Amino acid sequence: MLNFHLWTIWSSLCITFSLSYKWKNAEIVGGGFVPGIVFSEAEKDLVYARTDIGGLYRLNKSTKRWENLSEWVGVDNWGYAGIDTMCADPVDANRVYAAVGMYTNDWDPNNGAIISSTDRGDNWSISELPFKVGGNDPGRGMGERIAVDPNNNKILFFGARAGKGLWKSTDYAKTWSQVKSFTNVGKYAADNQYFTEAIGISFVTFDRYSGKKGSPTPNIYVGVADNSTSTVYVSKDAGVSWTAIPDQPAHYFPHKGKITEDGMLYVTYTDGCGPYDGQAGAIYRYNTKTGEWKDISPHQEPYFGYGGLAIDAQNQKTLVVATLNSWWPDAILFRSTDGGDTWSHIWEWDGYPQRKLKYEIDPSISPWIEDDMKQIPEPTTKLGWMIESLEIDPFNSDRIMWGTGATIWGSEDLTNWDSGKKFHISVMASGIEETSVQDLVSPATGDAHLLSVMGDIGGFRHTDLDKCPEINFRSPTFTTGYSIDYAENVPNFWVRVGTEPYIAISWGNGESWYSGQAPGGVTEGGIVAVGADGDVVWAPKPYDLGVFYGKESFKSSKGIPGGARICSDRVNGKIFYGYLGDTFYRSTDTGVTFSKVYTGLPEIEPGYAKNIKAVAGHEGDVWLAGNKGGLYHTEDGGETFTSIDGVEIANTIGFGKAAEGSDYPALYITGKIGNVNGIFRSDDKGKNWVRINDDDHQYGTINFCITGDPRIYGRVYVCTNGYGIVYGDIDGDSGTPVSGSGNGGSKGKDNKGKEDKDNKQNSNTSCWSEALGYPCCQGEVELVESNEDGDWGLENNEWCGIPKQSSSNESNNDGSCWSEALGYPCCQGEVEYVESNENGDWGLENNEWCGLPKTSNNRSKDNNNNEDSAACWSEAYGFPCCQGEIGYIESDEYGDWSVENNKWCGVPKARTLKSNAVKSCIGADGYPCCSQECTSYFRDESGDWSVENGDWCLIDTSIC
């Protein structure tokens, strides 16, 4: 149940246990750009979707929910959450590939990679590339840039960015080499400030019909993001040589290229690379047999470009094409059943401003996507924008999906369009959570357990985490919300800040809002702190404006620089705190003036990540997450600070309901402890920490904000950049999360066990054990263990010394010491049988394993029946029995316990626990006695505990 790692840090011991947690998303449904959807051609109902910052998804055909396949992406490789392109093997349904990496500029410090899976994305192999990949760069909706040869699926081609050209693999993506004969690598870059690298190759398309099974496909088409020369190239020798297709269209960028069995290559063009631009474009059909290009655009004077392109595999003259960006009044889908010679529009004008729709649309599972502020001809529910991904199910002509900047729309009766009936569109993004979350607050009262602010869609108030809220924050609406807070003593008063109009105020628990008055010059929300009694301190952008105080309107604070991370005291409404550089600031007059209170903290830059928070119910109690500087705590308003030992990195800090028996909130951080990145919880003011996530649940970048739930112990909410709002709960009967540190803690499962008697001094009296502080046994008790002092038993659950006349010291009866060949002596005295394996019977003598003589009959009455002892006694207590040959970790009144597959298991009473090469630890709770250490760090019923050689040991009272 608990998987623990032991590290000695400075002078303290920090043990972190990996605790079983259940992780989910607070339902929003969508919320970000879906630039790619891929239906498998090898298996029905196997569908993948890629996102630009939130990883790769696979559709669960039973639940019709998408499942994220990239939750394993962590802090060190966070860029792998950006999926620049993907493909499903058209031959082997189990194989899927993606090119990962977030940016080609220096925002992403790592090179990209090709990841490949042979089990549909459950597990991945990583082939690192010698260059970067731009999953969130301009042009990310083009493609797909990677493709599997449908006639020889060992072969893949991948089109790179940044002038790196075309690459080829011949071993299922394990290794890659550049195709140097492909020389037009693309020179166009969309942005001269941030995205200066060329967008490069836009698509790779195999003409499966030009080849035969088992041989490389000869004809391959590649598009290039270049508007100054030829943009579509062909190889007719399986990629050995390449030529530009003659007479091709000029001045536009090719986005999608797909070929049909009759030799027609369809290409959508736009005057930009997307996903936001596009004011002109065209659709062309190229006859690969005759060399003829034909403009088949459905709109001859477009105010938009063309992006998504779908071909019906059941009838390859049936096409659907989408506008890349028709922002007003709505996107347009066009459908042709004759190869593009004629087209039907999804909506048409019916006397301005009225429109005639050929569809009905249902946003009910994601109702916030409706915008009731829109006025005709704009609909309240739009078909979308940034439509680059558009696919018809190859096994079902009625099923279509397309990705937008906010969700996935789809239909399952598409062919109604052809018969004049309305077809039905609904949100098909259930399970996709792709928001960039900026701040989270879980209030102590009210019907909502969580309020959030985030990028692109503002923020939400969740009364049910499993249900998408009806609306996002509106009136005013922020495109992006950056910070939110409430008054601890006036809990119906809330403030949030974001993009224009920058500040919003609520006296209705965050259900209704109105605009506040921002100071002149504000361009972005920054961070806001609401005092316990409702006063407000605000640190907006640009940072050189400074910090402000007020409520409905604001004045400049004095004594604190702009860009400081700020928070309010959660008890005293007059007190606010700030943190910038290495300095801690405090105001005692509601933010009018601040003074420097403490210097020498870890350096921190201006920003609005949640690095500073005060504890509810504890005046002057503040925690600072100093990033690589660690974690700091003050209980006197910043007069003094304590550095929390063992915390190497603390990105952000939050609080939740206290553990049972504690009057102090649980702490939550994202960071690094014991050289392990993760999400951690402490129930004792940071003395001990438990890692509550695991390597399969890392969620990329999680360094912005975190909060516990003040009403539910163990629950934590985590801000992610692309994975939405992630929250975790302790997973059922997973045990108590415990850990140890240099100033307190526990060492095992239940702290049950008896004190080790390995190091007792000799006594010559009949009751020899009294000199050692233990009584002699009064009744007939069984020998439990022996050491140099004598034999020990248990009476009334306490250790007692067995009178010496009661012990026998007979030697081996037959003189045959079979265990010596295995590296262990034979037992010399009359010792108790402990366990058996294929070699023989084993006992313990002088705290060492020994082999019982073959003729010995020293088994206790409890161990005479091997068949009965082998029963899985621990199942009655909710734990499995151990399956392997492993040593026990501790014992209690039920039996011996060990750990297998990170879970507690009961050691079968007759199971061989001893291999030929492994000794089990023996001593109290499975730990030895200290040989010389006397410093007590912890006490339980076994005695006082210390640390020696980096591990727990029981203090020997005879020497201390």
Task: Please state, for a pLDDT cut of 90, what percent of the chain lies above it.
Answer: 72
DSSP lists the bridge partners of residue 536 as 530, 550
List phi, psi (to 5°) of 650.
-130, 110
Q: How do residues 148-162 score in pLDDT, each as one tens digit?
A: 999 999 999 999 999
User: How high is the pLDDT of residue 118?
Assistant: 98
User: CA–CA separation, 102 vs 113, rounded Å?
Assistant: 11
Average pLDDT over residues 620-635: 98
Q: From residue 16, how far is each of 6, 408, 689 by CA, in Å?
A: 7, 41, 6
User: How high is the pLDDT of residue 926?
Assistant: 60
Q: Backbone dihedral region of 880: left (phi > 0), alpha (psi from -120 to 50 degrees) or beta?
A: beta
Supply the DSSP string of 316-329, one letter for each residue.
TT-EEEEES---SS
Closest by CA position to 262, among listed 283, 231, 285: 285
User: How high is the pLDDT of residue 847?
Assistant: 62
Closest by CA position to 87, among listed 45, 115, 122, 124: 115
Instruction: Give CA angle at 848 (847, 853), nearest 5°.
Output: 120
User: CA–CA separation, 417 vs 155, rounded Å?
Assistant: 38
Q: Are strands 12-18 and 689-691 parallel, antiparallel or unpaired?
A: parallel
Highest mean pLDDT among 77-86, 920-929, 950-959: 77-86
17-26 burial string, b = 16+ CB within 10 Å, else e?
bbbbbebebb
**pLDDT(652) > 50:** yes
Instruction: Give CA angle at 630 (628, 632), nearest 5°.
Output: 145
Average pLDDT over residues 835-843: 72
User: CA–CA separation, 57 vs 429, rounded Å?
Assistant: 10
User: How high is the pLDDT of residue 910?
Assistant: 44
What contacts 830, CB < 8 A, 6 or more positions away?
783, 807, 808, 809, 810, 858
Average pLDDT over residues 380-395: 97
Helix or strand or coil: residue 926?
helix
Average pLDDT over residues 776-793: 76
User: How high is the pLDDT of residue 335?
Assistant: 98
Is the omega angle on the peptide bond into residue 150 within 30 degrees of 0, that is, cis? no
Average pLDDT over residues 881-892: 64
**pLDDT(734) > 50:** no
**pLDDT(901) > 70:** no
Closest by CA position to 437, among listed 133, 726, 77, 656: 726
Measured from the Cβ of residue 876, the count of other Cβ atoms closer than 10 Å reads: 10
List phi, psi (to 5°) of 208.
-60, -25
Least confident segment among 1-15, 39-53, 633-647, 780-794 = 1-15
User: How high is the pLDDT of residue 740?
Assistant: 31
Please tell me the total number of residues recorded for the chain in this structure. Answer: 960
User: Which stretches does DSSP call E strand in 145-206?
Assistant: 146-148, 156-159, 166-169, 177-178, 201-206
Q: From residue 10, how far is each of 628, 770, 914, 932 by CA, in Å?
A: 16, 40, 35, 20
Helix or strand or coil: residue 627?
strand
Q: Are 438 and 483 in contact (CB under 8 A)?
A: yes
User: How high is the pLDDT of residue 741?
Assistant: 34
Q: How do residues 166-188 score in pLDDT, each as one tens digit?
A: 999 999 999 999 999 999 999 99
Highest mean pLDDT among 6-15, 338-347, 749-758, 827-836: 338-347
Q: Work out the end-to-end distance of the chain between its first and last CA atoms, rounded to an integer number of angstroms.
A: 35
Q: How do residues 341-380 score in pLDDT, each as one tens digit?
A: 999 999 999 999 999 999 999 999 999 999 988 999 999 9
pTM value is 0.78
What contacts 59, CB < 8 A, 6 or more positions away?
45, 46, 47, 48, 49, 65, 66, 67
User: How high is the pLDDT of residue 373?
Assistant: 86
Q: From residue 162, how far is each of 138, 232, 863 by CA, in Å?
A: 12, 18, 72
Q: Are strands 576-587 and 565-568 parallel, antiparallel or unpaired?
A: antiparallel
Please indicate whether residue 864 or residue 388 has the higher confidence score (pLDDT).
Answer: 388
User: How high is the pLDDT of residue 812?
Assistant: 37
Closest by CA position to 185, among listed 246, 229, 124, 235: 229
User: How high is the pLDDT of residue 870?
Assistant: 39
Tokens 């005759």 belong to which residue? Answer: 290
**9, 13, 14, 18: CA torsion to nearest 10:** 130
User: CA–CA separation, 189 vs 162, rounded Å?
Assistant: 9
DSSP lists the bridge partners of residue 776 as 801
Q: How do residues 888-900 score in pLDDT, each as one tens digit?
A: 556 666 777 676 6
User: How high is the pLDDT of residue 660?
Assistant: 95
258 burial (CB, 10 Å; 0-12 / 13-18 / 19+) is middle
Q: From residue 398, how far is each of 45, 338, 415, 714 by CA, in Å?
A: 13, 17, 5, 46
User: CA–CA separation, 169 vs 150, rounded Å?
Assistant: 14
Confidence grade of residue 932 (pLDDT, cut at 50, 70, 90): confident
What is the overall mean pLDDT for the chain? 87
Task: Please state, for a pLDDT cut of 70, what percent of the chain lies above it.
Answer: 84
Q: How do residues 860-877 score in pLDDT, each as one tens digit?
A: 323 333 333 335 777 766
User: CA–CA separation, 680 vs 315, rounded Å?
Assistant: 54
User: CA–CA separation, 784 vs 151, rounded Å?
Assistant: 71
User: How high is the pLDDT of residue 748?
Assistant: 28
Confidence grade of residue 944 (pLDDT, cut at 50, 70, 90): confident
Q: How do residues 673-703 score in pLDDT, each as one tens digit?
A: 999 999 999 999 999 999 999 999 999 999 9
User: How high is the pLDDT of residue 658?
Assistant: 97
User: CA–CA separation, 423 vs 401, rounded Å?
Assistant: 13
Confidence grade of residue 471 (pLDDT, cut at 50, 70, 90): very high
* Residue 613 DSSP symbol: E
Which residues are catalytic, by number?
Answer: 52, 456
Q: Which tokens is 715 given?
A: 């629950």
User: CA–CA separation, 238 vs 207, rounded Å?
Assistant: 10
Is the omega angle on the peptide bond into residue 90 within 30 degrees of 0, that is, cis? no
* Residue 920 DSSP symbol: P
User: CA–CA separation, 103 vs 111, rounded Å?
Assistant: 9
Closest by CA position to 780, among listed 768, 795, 799: 795
User: CA–CA separation, 78 vs 704, rounded Å?
Assistant: 14
Is the omega angle on the peptide bond into residue 501 within 30 degrees of 0, that is, cis? yes
Closest by CA position to 658, among listed 713, 729, 734, 709: 713
Q: How do residues 810-824 score in pLDDT, each as one tens digit?
A: 333 344 577 776 767
Q: How do residues 538-589 score in pLDDT, each as one tens digit?
A: 999 999 999 999 998 999 999 999 999 999 999 999 999 999 999 999 999 9
What contacts 520, CB < 8 A, 6 or more positions away?
none
Please indicate whether residue 33 or residue 803 has the higher confidence score (pLDDT).
Answer: 33
User: How high is the pLDDT of residue 782?
Assistant: 73
For residue 399, the Cα-to-chain-centroid distance in whole angstroms is 31
User: CA–CA separation, 606 vs 558, rounded Å?
Assistant: 17
Strand order of the β-sheet with 565-568 is: 565-568, 576-587, 595-604
Please indicate whether residue 452 or residue 843 has the higher confidence score (pLDDT).
Answer: 452
User: How high is the pLDDT of residue 11?
Assistant: 29
DSSP lists the bridge partners of residue 157 as 147, 168
Q: How do residues 283-310 score in pLDDT, each as one tens digit?
A: 999 999 999 999 999 988 899 999 999 9
List phi, psi (to 5°) of 900.
-140, 130
Q: Are 773 and 957 in contact (CB under 8 A)?
A: yes
Is the omega angle on the peptide bond into residue 329 within 30 degrees of 0, that is, cis? yes
